[in-house]
Amino acid sequence: MSTGSIQARAEGWLGNNDVRLLIALALAIGGLYALFSVVLGFQLNGTVNTLRRVAFLSAIYAMLALALNLQWGYAGLFNLGAAGFMAIGVYTMGILTAPVTASPPGFGLPLPVAILGAILVTGLIGGLAALPAIRLRADYLAIVTVAFSEIVRLTLRAPEFANTRIAGVAFGTGGATGLSLPSNPIRILFYTDPAATAPAPNALGAAIFSAVEPLGIEETLVIGWAYVVVLCLCLGLLYWLMVRIGKSPFGRVLKSIREDQQVTQALGKDTRLFKIKTFALGCALMGLIAILWRLSGGYASPRMFKPIQTFYIFIALFIGGTGSPTGSIVGGALFASLLFEGPSFIRRVVAESLQLSNAPDTLVAAIVELGSGDVIPLLAYSVQDVSISALRLMLLGIVLVYLMQRHPDGLLGHRKAIASSVDLSQRETREDDYE
């Protein structure tokens, strides 16, 4: 491919309104956080770290929303068990990579092999889980899958499987304590021996670390940002994949299954196979995305895969609007940056700017203070760590109610990308018709 055609392609991408919208959104969110941090005089390292965290979660939730959109937005498969499939992905990877000598022991496989294995296992289990439910209506599939995801979580937490031996093979989930995962693979870019506790940087690592050190930016932050860049590449790839699927004859069948399964079947499409394939693929992707998520922390625990995790993804999807990949990314980014991370950021802003003293122990105590005209105790009370997660849930509820009332189709509205690999407005094949 010549440089000219690459340039033409890049221009084509940038000329695409959806891509522009996504870039603008990323800049707006980043700008908002940066602005607040600068105005409030946060340290550079902290600010860059806040941005990293927001970008990280945005990319993860955007990808999860894309995977869920494949199932729910494209095919109308109501998968309320996303968290369960994420857990299967992460734990399969964890068990496959854990050294044979570790406690709990694993299979000691290299990470890429383990990730591939985890994708296959998650996809397979997704397909199997869909089998009995695939003939059912959407709401029954939802019940089956939410139950399934809880079975997965409770199984992973059960002490019986924490360190077990089946057919002579020793392995374990770690039970309630959780499971250690391999260290962040991106470290290999910066360190000669990434597995060591205090590794020596390689040439690239040394160069970058010394360049940012005067700015007060720590090594871990550089690694974190490098990982975010990788995630964004994955997000771009997944987006491209979803657009492709949406425009393909396969996607066209999914679209019609969502509308009327009986008609689709009467037109000669084996709808069961389409649904199972879609469900399996979506689940496999969720497993992979969860692996990308948890690899950054190096640790997995059943607590991470509660049903609320599934609802978070659904809310992200609803915000952007189901059915369109662009909507999934918008929803994922807005959810993660404003609804999920927003409250804790505001807590820090409030805490730092008002120099809050100790918060009262109870809400009543805080309200009593109001009587003397002092609002600070109430404010301090409501921005404690504990109250923030409660506030977050309240905020989510309010946003959900508002969306359902005012924008039932999501912020991007009802977007209908035409499901066809060719431009349908042209009747005859022309020379310039090739994509």
Partner 1 sequence: MSKNVQSAQRDQTQNGQQEQILTVKNLRKTFGGITAVADVSFHVEKGSITGLIGPNGAGKSTTFDLITGVQRPDGGAVEFNDTEITGYRSDQVANQGLVRTFQIARELSEMTVLENLMLAPQNQVGEAIWRAVLPRARTQVVEQEKALRKQAWEMLELFEIEHVAHESAGNLSGGQRKLLEMARVLMTDPEMVLLDEPLAGVNPTLEEKLIDRLHTLKEQGYTFLFVEHDMDVIMNNCDTVIVMHQGSVLTEGQPDTVKNNDKVLDAYLGEEVTI
Q: Is 6 in the site for partner 1 (CB under 8 A)?
A: no
Which residue from 385, 424, 431, 432 is in contact with partner 1, where contact means CB under 8 A?
424
Coil, helix or strand for 169? strand
CA distance 352 to 356: 7
Name 432's Cβ contacts closer than 8 Å, sequence gap at least 6.
none
69 binds partner 1 (CB under 8 A): no
Residue from 47, 71, 271, 324 touching partner 1 (CB under 8 A): that is 271
Q: Which residue has the tokens 């094949």?
A: 429
Q: Which amino acid is at 286?
A: M
What's the min distance (Å) between Cβ of 127 and partner 1?
13
Least Å distance, CB 378 to partner 1, is 48
Q: Which is nearer to partner 1, 272 or 306 (CB)?
A: 272
Dihedral angle at the C-alpha atoms of 331, 333, 337, 340, nearest 10 degrees?
A: 50
Residue 252 touching partner 1 (CB under 8 A): yes
- Binding-site member from 153, 187, 255, 347 for partner 1 (CB under 8 A): 255
Please report whether residue 245 would count as binding partner 1 according to CB under 8 A.
yes
130 binds partner 1 (CB under 8 A): no
What's the Cα-to-Cα distance from 194 to each of 90, 295, 313, 429, rounded to whole Å? 21, 14, 32, 55
Q: For residue 392, report the phi and psi dihedrals to the nearest 5 degrees.
A: -60, -45
- Residue 183's CB is within 10 A of a number of other CB atoms, namely 18
Q: Is 164 helix (H, G, I), strand (E, B) or coil?
A: strand
Q: Which residues contact 251 (CB under 8 A, 6 or more apart)?
A: 74, 245, 419
Q: For partner 1, which residue of 3, 5, 355, 425 counts as binding (CB under 8 A)?
A: 425
Q: Are 83 and 363 in contact (CB under 8 A)?
A: no
Q: Does 248 bind partner 1 (CB under 8 A)?
A: yes
Helices (H), 175-218: 203-212
Query: Which among 170-178, 295-303, 394-402, 425-433 is the span making contact with partner 1, rule CB under 8 A?
Result: 425-433
- Residue 428 interacts with partner 1 (CB under 8 A): yes or no: yes
Q: Of all helices (H) and strands (E), which one includes residue 179?
A: strand 179-180
Closest of 187, 193, 182, 162 to residue 109, by C-alpha: 182
- Does 419 bind partner 1 (CB under 8 A)? Our answer is yes
Q: Is 259 in the site for partner 1 (CB under 8 A)?
A: yes
- Contact with partner 1 (CB under 8 A): which of 251, 325, 327, 377? 251
β-bridge partners, 299: 180
Please tell me the count of residues contacting partner 1 according to CB under 8 A: 41
**Piece in contact with partner 1 (CB under 8 A), picked from 120-128, 259-267, 284-292, 331-339:** 259-267
Q: How far is CA 291 from CA 64, 118, 182, in A?
A: 11, 9, 11
299 phi and psi, to 5 degrees? Answer: -160, 140
Stretch of residues binding partner 1 (CB under 8 A), selected from 18-26, 122-130, 135-143, 263-271: 263-271
Kindly tell me which residue out of 215, 371, 416, 432 binds partner 1, with binding defined by CB under 8 A. 416
Provide, rounded to whole angstroms, the least separation between the CB of residue 289 and partner 1. 18
Amino acid sitting at position 380: A
> Which 139-178 positions form the footprint of partner 1 (CB under 8 A)?
none
Residue 241 interacting with partner 1 (CB under 8 A)? yes
Which one of 84-92, 118-126, 221-229, 274-282 is the stretch in contact with partner 1 (CB under 8 A)?
A: 274-282
Place of tokens 């199984």: 155
For residues 33 and 74, which CB has a smaller minimum distance to partner 1 in the complex?
Answer: 74
Q: What residues line the site for partner 1 (CB under 8 A)?
A: 241, 244-245, 248-253, 255-256, 259-260, 262-271, 274, 277, 281, 416, 418-422, 424-429, 433-435
